[in-house]
Amino acid sequence: MNAFEIYKKLPKKNCGKCRQKTCMPFAFSLLSGDADLSECPELTEREIAELKSSVQKTDWREALISSLRKEVATIRFQEIAEGLGATVQEGSLIIRSLGREFAVAPDGEITTQGHTTPWMQILLLHYIRTRGQAALSNRWVSYAELKGGMVKALSFRRECEDPLRDLLDRDYGQVKGILHRIGAEERSGFATQNAWYLYLLPKLPVLILYWPKEEEFESKVSMLLDSTADQFLDVESLMFLGEGLIKNIEAYLQYTGKAR
């Protein structure tokens, strides 16, 4: 059972009561041996017993990264760089994501300034292996409108849109500043004045729309994607890329002492 399958069997309440705070990181930690099922207060004893036999603690991420690197090593970067919105420098593929520049060597090894998480490596290698060649349509669609997105739309709202809304509600000025720092540009002409255009990956822009709370209306965030997004990453990977954005914002807030 992989992390995604484990996640589907968890309560998915993101209650914040375990060390990982949300259910997807908890699923990853179960497989790597960094967490135990008993740490989830929302699981019943019966559910723990049923899951325990399925959770084999192994760092599957390293195995997946190794497999993806072998596949990427067969790809000629010069042939795909333009289609991915990347460049080739001294044989390495250069990709910008969330305000950082990543260099992917011909053997698939990824380097950047600072730490690179296993999940970011997996996303970048998946992005390369798609060999995406589509031209951006500049037509914004919801996650649900992408191929396979309808069945996961509620998860996308829970894991990406709602957490970003909560962060903006909590400290609008700081989060706005962080968005600018990682490359977001303010845009006008939308139903709200709070609109930002941000490239999560070179060919994966996101349009973030935020409506603050008003007297009779709760606050809201919509994250719209270019209609070609599913030609560069599958919807599951797009969801985790969105989660990566949230984690980056949270990390910046913690660094500045603003996370609460």
End-to-end CA distance of the chain: 34
Quote the DSSP letter at residue 182.
T
Q: Which two tokens stand for residue 201?
A: 């990956």
Same domain, 186 and 245: yes
Which residue range is the domain that position 123 belongs to?
60-129
Same domain, 144 and 250: yes
pLDDT bracket for residue 18 (50, 70, 90): confident
CA distance 254 to 260: 8
Same domain, 111 and 94: yes
pLDDT bracket for residue 258 (50, 70, 90): very low
DSSP state letters, 61-77: HHHHHHHHHHHHTTS-H
Closest CA relative to residue 14, chosen from 6, 5, 23: 23
Asked whether residue 134 is assigned to any structural domain, the reply reads no
Same domain, 65 and 151: no
CA distance 157 to 144: 10
Same domain, 161 and 223: yes
pLDDT per position as a tens digit, 117-149: 888 899 999 999 999 889 999 999 999 999 999
Same domain, 46 and 71: no
Which pLDDT belongs to residue 116?
Answer: 81
Asked whether residue 48 is assigned to any structural domain, the reply reads yes
CA distance 193 to 210: 8
| E strand map for 110-229 | 110-112, 140-141, 185-186, 194-201, 204-211, 220-226
Q: Which two tokens stand for residue 73?
A: 């090593």
Which run of H or of E encompasses 242? helix 235-255
Burial of 3 (0-12, 13-18, 19+ CB in 10 A): buried
CA distance 68 to 124: 10
pLDDT per position as a tens digit, 168-225: 999 999 999 999 999 999 999 999 999 999 999 999 999 999 999 998 899 999 999 9
Which pLDDT belongs to residue 63?
Answer: 83
Same domain, 250 and 233: yes
Same domain, 113 and 157: no
Q: Which two tokens stand for residue 147?
A: 């191929």
Report which of residues 178 and 4 the model is more confident about.
178
Judged by average pLDDT, the poorest of 12-26, 80-94, 189-203 is 12-26
**Inter-residue contact 168 to 211 (CB < 8 Å):** no
Same domain, 94 and 28: no
Is 1 a residue whose pLDDT tops 80? no
Residue 114's identity, in one-letter code, is: G
- 210 forms beta bridges with 194, 221
Asked whether residue 135 is assigned to any structural domain, the reply reads no
pLDDT per position as a tens digit, 24-83: 888 888 876 677 888 899 999 988 888 887 776 556 678 889 999 999 999 999 999 999
